Structure 1
Amino acid sequence: MGAGLIFIILINTFGQIKLNAWFGSFYDALFQRSLPLLANEVVAFLVIVGGLLCLVVAQTWLQETIKVRLREWLTHDLMDQWLKPGRAFHLSQAGEDGANPDQYIQADARQLADMSASLVIGLFHASLLLLSFVGVLWALSNQVVFSYDGRTFTIPGYMVWCALAYALTGSWLTWLIGRPLIKLNAERYAREADLRFAIMRINETVASVAMARGEAHERRTANGSIVSVIDLGRKLANGHSRLTWITSGYGWLALVVPILLATPGVFSGSLSLGGLMMVVGAFTQVQNSLRWFVDNFPGIADWRATLLRVSRFRNGLAYLDLEPNPNPDATGTGGIALAPHPQGHVSFDNAAIGHADSPLTFATSTIELKPGERALIETASDSDRALLLRTLVGLSLEGSGTILLPEAKDVMFVPARLDFRIGTLREAMIYPASSTDLDDTLISSALVRAGLMNLLGRLDDKERWDRALQAQDQQRLMLARLILHRPAWVLFEDMAATANEQDLRVFRSVFARELLGTAVIGLGACTALNGFFERKFRLARKLETAAPPVTFDAAPMQARQRIEAAE
């Protein structure tokens, strides 16, 4: 497509040269008052313009299609970089630099692709016109004859030098006045992203806002982002206004400057009316090519600001890959070693999780959990539990010791705050598998087993399932996902904390039948599941001297099966 576009621009440039020559012949025919010559020139004009029209349409289609392809490539590239394992999470923890990835991937990528294609193609076209018409204008400069003290002379390339001086003066003034727009445009995108995030956050919490009657407070909070955007908009408006003095004045003067510069040739009689029109046309093409910078400086400033944002986002993602130890000087160790267990078990060997000043540790140095076992790991706070979960999934490795886990495909993590992707119910059920891996029969059976018969006819409904379903139905939907995927290991936070008796009976029944061989690690208190776990451990800070030691519930596997089968 790029080669085709270059070919079309080349032919288009040739057509522009022919059109400029036609103007000379047309005005000469008009000056001679010859109707046959004038008719021939009109026919020639229609042929040239018809060809140019076809070329312009083809060039426009190719240019716009290249923009789409470029955006497709850039968006996929940014998504691939962003959604590498762990990167999206680490970016969310990176403060202001990691805010609003949607702005980079959607809006900035689109604008960068569009502007890059437009500017590059425009610059190439302008450069080609410049190279073509400089020769024409240089030759026509010989017709501009000066008279002085009874003598006549010409200045080689006179009109070319005038065009260069005129364009360079305008370009320098444009750069001088418009340079601050680069920084303002970069800041504008950041502030626009903050405003959009504030609106999205309100939209995500509309229910809690309505219940608390917090609309006025949210309005006041959002007003800060709005004021910030408007203030910057005023600065941009003032900057563009100052720049318009140069760009518009430059354009208006260009209408008369070439005529005034060529006047000596007209007065001396060496330049006919047709020749004057050819000189003016060639001068206009040359200075239009040279003033490409003047005309496009606001766009260049906008493009450069967008390019810097996207480049910073993409390059920054590479630095988010987790290091063995985020703060080696503080811990004096290489961080927690997280690796696969050769037998598919879960083991903790001298694990100290978190900062060295107050790490989370077990009472015993070595713990090993085998397939089919059920263990509860209690923590003193939600933050400790969250740190343990982040460590187990490899999102935080600060600390020391070794943790061995089964293969990732054998483990399902169930967070306390359930999250379902926006899409159809089928997609929410099979996530993260593909639609070809699991058929509707298995999905329907899992829904029935989890007590969600009312959802059987809604597999193709697209909803925000985290809003469309009550909390208990969401937990049952997660249970249906576990039935569907049949993982070898399940790690969950206290998902039974808000469950009623009926939900707990279904939960126990599923793990006594369909998921009987599934190993379970619970994180948190899980008081509603007393008797469900065979082993219990306490993960506490070293400074917590009163932390109880590891305890074991000696209920054998056979007793567990009989109890849960009876329930």
Structure 2
Amino acid sequence: MNFIQFWQQVWLLIKPFWLSNKRYVALLWLVIILSCAIFEVYMSVRLTEWNGGFYNSLQNYDQRKFFTLLVSGSIIMLLFVFATIFTYYSSSILEIQWRKWLTEYYLQAWVKSRSYYFSEFIQNNQDNPDQRISDDVHQFVNLTIKILITSFRSIISLGSFLVILWRFSGNFIFNISTHSFFIPGYMVWLALLYAGIGTYITFKIGNPLIKLNYQQQCYEANFRYNLVRIREHSQQIAAYKAAAIESQHATRDFNHIVDNFMQVLRRNFKINMFNYTYGQISTIIPTLISAGRYFARKITLGDMMQINSAFARVQFAIAFLIYMYADIATWRAVMNRLSDFMHLMDESAKIVVPPIYHHELSLLVVKNLSIYNPAGNILVNNLSFEVSRAEHLLFVGKTGVGKSSLFKALNGLWPYASGVISERNGSKSLFIAQRPYLPLLNLKEAICYPLVNNLPSDTAIKELMIDCELDALIEKLYTSGDWNKMLSIGEQQKIIFCRVLINKPDIVYLDESSSALDRATELKLYNLLHAQLPQLAILTISHNNQLRQLHKKIITIA
């Protein structure tokens, strides 16, 4: 990535917030932060000048001036501390505002583009994209503000302390043959040269850190994800007595973290060795260079202290990239991952599914619909059918022939399809997938999902729960929990039927939604749908021949 591409990437990531309607408040905080940074640099200049007078008072044994300077120095230090603390407070406010807005922005884009679902259809899709929203947004905002403030402070410091260093540097005079030459402000040039060399070496040593930090975040995310999967499937793992296997897999993932961390550690060790050596030498250089003028009585001890302070400030202002290289490397890695995440959302938005048209005729009309697998092989070829109110269709066929993919296509969830799908204007459908989903809400809200407003009364809910044989759960109506883990599959499927009765769709797609129920309960719940929602159109996928008697049409998918 070249220089222009890098700044294009930075702008692409920061512009959503800084062009939003929140930018004015954010700009106010940014102005406050930068003003505090300027004030800090001003106090640093005053402190450097104070150093000169303080050490001169010591050299001249001037007790009165010594105590006077102690008081003024204390005031300067207090003001400096206040500016530093207020800078931290202001930057923290800006950070949380930016992070909140950007998290909501990415979350809405992730949901709107349906990347949370369609990203699964993209080859080489990013690992754990959800963690980009939770982790990388936080790091990106934090490091961007930190690097911005440090860069701004370094530029202001450079301009301020260059003047001081130039004033005390004097001229470096040397002779070549019979000619005399002099370099004005030679310590300024020495500081620039020293910082430039140090920055170049640091970048050469530390460049691999960007890739290593990117990989570290990948490995950490994979490890966390696999631990979550073990927790989510704990019952199945315990039933298979496969804890040792899962432990091996988790250990393998963690070993990736350790191996990559050791590479990061070795690279940081080299950078830190250079940085500490570089930093220690930088404290000696100005003293050695100015010592000759001091012993020649051309400058005072206070002047020497100011030279040391100004040289250090100039050197740090130029070479701040050296001291912040680890943060910059992490920042680059985070930006790369966020850019990949944005690319994933863009690619997800490009996925085309057969459009669902609207008309004033039957509830559902399907013409010449063909379903393919991701490899392009035909699963369902030129299927046509029509569904009216109160009509019940049963789809049968061997496992893997494309029945579930057909239902996904009818609900706009399967991109590998062609044909015409039309729904009645204003009709409401509900697709119940094979695996029940119960959100992390209280039981009443979980049952009513996706209905969130105007929920039925507790009395109505309880009556439906009794009808669906969920009597034992009535007392837990306002208990929150992970219901997919707390309830058996059979109980979850009973809740699904209760959910259909509450949401009252015009058409419901039931993809083996009663497979875990005993035959008597299964028939009872289907009859309950027929009785309480007589106009409901039901499309069912099932391998249970018993359900044939409840469906007027049977479509075989071969």
Q: Same fold (TM over 0.5)?
A: yes
CA contact (8 A) 2:464 2:498 kept: yes
What amino acid is aligned across from residue 349 of structure 1 in structure 2? Answer: K
Residues 409 and 19 of structure 1: CA distance in aligned 2, closer, same or farther (over 3 Å): farther
Pair 1:374 & 2:402 matched: no
CA contact (8 A) 1:377 1:538 kept: yes
Residues 41 and 307 of structure 1: CA distance in aligned 2, closer, same or farther (over 3 Å): same
Pair 1:12 & 2:40 matched: yes
- Give the Cα separation in 2 of the matches to 1:107 and 1:267: 57
Pick from 516, 537, 554: which aligns with 1:498? 516
What amino acid is aligned across from residue 14 of structure 1 in structure 2? Answer: Y
Q: Give 2:543's aligned residue.
A: 525
Q: Give 2:236's aligned residue.
A: 208
Q: Tell me the CA shift for residue 377 of structure 1.
A: 2.0
Q: Give 1:312's aligned residue.
A: 340
Pick from 50, 73, 91: which aligns with 2:119? 91
- Give the Cα separation in 1 of the matches to 2:450 and 2:504: 13
Pair 1:422 & 2:440 matched: yes
Q: Tell me the CA shift for residue 342 of structure 1.
A: 3.4
Residues 226 and 425 of structure 1: CA distance in aligned 2, closer, same or farther (over 3 Å): same
Note the 1:540-559 alignment, pairs <5 A.
540=558
- Give the Cα separation in 1 of the matches to 2:112 and 2:285: 58
Q: Give 1:349's aligned residue.
A: 367
- Give the Cα separation in 2 of the matches to 1:258 and 1:417: 71
Q: Give 2:275's aligned residue.
A: 247
Q: Secondary structure at the match of 2:361?
A: coil
Pair 1:452 & 2:470 matched: yes
Deviates further, 268-277 or 171-180: 268-277
Per-residue CA distance 1:6-65 (angstroms, 9 max, x = gap): 111111111111111111111111111111111110110111111111111101111222
What amino acid is aligned across from residue 117 of structure 1 in structure 2? Answer: I
Pair 1:37 & 2:57 matched: no
Pair 1:361 & 2:381 matched: yes
- Give the Cα separation in 2 of the matches to 1:512 and 1:430: 19
- Give the Cα separation in 2 of the matches to 1:206 and 1:300: 40
CA contact (8 A) 2:115 2:344 kept: no
Q: Tell me the CA shift for residue 402 of structure 1.
A: 0.8
Per-residue CA distance 1:228-261 (angstroms, 9 max, x = gap): 2211112111111111221111111111111112
- Give the Cα separation in 2 of the matches to 1:28 and 1:392: 86
- Give the Cα separation in 1 of the matches to 2:245 and 2:230: 11
Q: Tell me the CA shift for residue 471 of structure 1.
A: 1.8
Q: Give 1:470's aligned residue.
A: 488
Pair 1:484 & 2:512 matched: no
- Give the Cα separation in 2 of the matches to 1:510 and 1:387: 27
Q: Kindly, what percent of the aligned residue pairs are identical?
A: 23
- Give the Cα separation in 1 of the matches to 2:45 and 2:181: 27
What amino acid is aligned across from residue 469 of structure 1 in structure 2? Answer: L
- Give the Cα separation in 2 of the matches to 1:295 and 1:516: 73
CA contact (8 A) 1:147 1:268 kept: no
Q: Give 1:397's aligned residue.
A: 415
What amino acid is aligned across from residue 536 of structure 2 in structure 1? Answer: T
Per-residue CA distance 1:329-352 (angstroms, 9 max, x = gap): xxxxxxx44323433621111222
Q: Tell me the CA shift for residue 137 of structure 1.
A: 1.7
- Give the Cα separation in 2 of the matches to 1:358 and 1:12: 69
Q: Tell me the CA shift for residue 264 of structure 1.
A: 3.2
Note the 1:90-169 alignment, pairs <5 A.
90-142=118-170, 155-169=183-197
Q: Secondary structure at the match of 1:98?
A: coil
Deviates further, 40-49 or 465-474: 465-474
Q: Tell me the CA shift for residue 433 of structure 1.
A: 3.0
- Give the Cα separation in 1 of the matches to 2:390 and 2:248: 54
Q: Tell me the CA shift for residue 166 of structure 1.
A: 0.9
CA contact (8 A) 1:496 1:528 kept: no
What amino acid is aligned across from residue 502 of structure 2 in structure 1? Answer: L
- Give the Cα separation in 2 of the matches to 1:33 and 1:146: 33
Pair 1:194 & 2:222 matched: yes
Q: Tell me the CA shift for residue 436 of structure 1.
A: 5.4
Q: Tell me the CA shift for residue 462 of structure 1.
A: 1.7
Deviates further, 482-491 or 456-465: 456-465
- Give the Cα separation in 2 of the matches to 1:208 and 1:408: 42
Query: With structure 1 as the length reference, what TM-score do the two structures score?
Result: 0.87
Q: Tell me the CA shift for residue 466 of structure 1.
A: 1.0
The number of aligned residues is 527
- Give the Cα separation in 2 of the matches to 1:419 and 1:202: 18
Q: Give 1:73's aligned residue.
A: 101
Pick from 256, 260, 267: which aligns with 1:232? 260
What amino acid is aligned across from residue 88 of structure 2 in structure 1? Answer: T
Residues 383 and 301 of structure 1: CA distance in aligned 2, closer, same or farther (over 3 Å): farther
What amino acid is aligned across from residue 358 of structure 1 in structure 2? Answer: I
Pair 1:433 & 2:451 matched: yes
- Give the Cα separation in 1 of the matches to 2:451 and 2:165: 66
Residues 274 and 352 of structure 1: CA distance in aligned 2, closer, same or farther (over 3 Å): same
Unaligned runs of 5+ in 2: 1-28
- Give the Cα separation in 2 of the matches to 1:295 and 1:51: 25
Q: Give 1:557's aligned residue.
A: none
Q: Secondary structure at the match of 2:402?
A: helix
Q: Secondary structure at the match of 1:255?
A: helix
- Give the Cα separation in 1 of the matches to 2:260 and 2:196: 30
Per-residue CA distance 1:54-111 (angstroms, 9 max, x = gap): 1111011112222222222222222122212532112133354233123222222222
Residues 517 and 317 of structure 1: CA distance in aligned 2, closer, same or farther (over 3 Å): same
- Give the Cα separation in 1 of the matches to 2:67 and 2:181: 37
What amino acid is aligned across from residue 380 of structure 2 in structure 1? Answer: L
CA contact (8 A) 1:182 1:302 kept: yes
- Give the Cα separation in 2 of the matches to 1:344 and 1:131: 76
Q: Give 1:172's aligned residue.
A: 200
Unaligned runs of 5+ in 1: 326-335, 541-567
Q: Tell me the CA shift for residue 504 of structure 1.
A: 2.7
Pick from 268, 271, 296: which aligns with 2:296? 268
Q: Tell me the CA shift for residue 273 of structure 1.
A: 0.8
CA contact (8 A) 1:92 1:98 kept: no
- Give the Cα separation in 1 of the matches to 2:123 and 2:242: 26
Pick from 58, 64, 78: which aligns with 1:50? 78
What amino acid is aligned across from residue 550 of structure 2 in structure 1? Answer: F
- Give the Cα separation in 1 of the matches to 2:152 and 2:269: 28
- CA RMSD in angstroms, aligned pairs only: 2.5
Residues 323 and 238 of structure 1: CA distance in aligned 2, closer, same or farther (over 3 Å): closer
Q: Give 2:12's aligned residue.
A: none
Q: Give 1:328's aligned residue.
A: none
CA contact (8 A) 1:349 1:367 kept: yes
- Give the Cα separation in 1 of the matches to 2:312 and 2:163: 14
Q: Secondary structure at the match of 1:254?
A: helix
What amino acid is aligned across from residue 361 of structure 1 in structure 2? Answer: N
- Give the Cα separation in 1 of the matches to 2:188 and 2:458: 74
Per-residue CA distance 1:283-330 (angstroms, 9 max, x = gap): 1111111121100111111110111011111122111125447xxxxx
Per-residue CA distance 1:440-460 (angstroms, 9 max, x = gap): 454444334323233233233
Q: Give 1:223's aligned residue.
A: 251
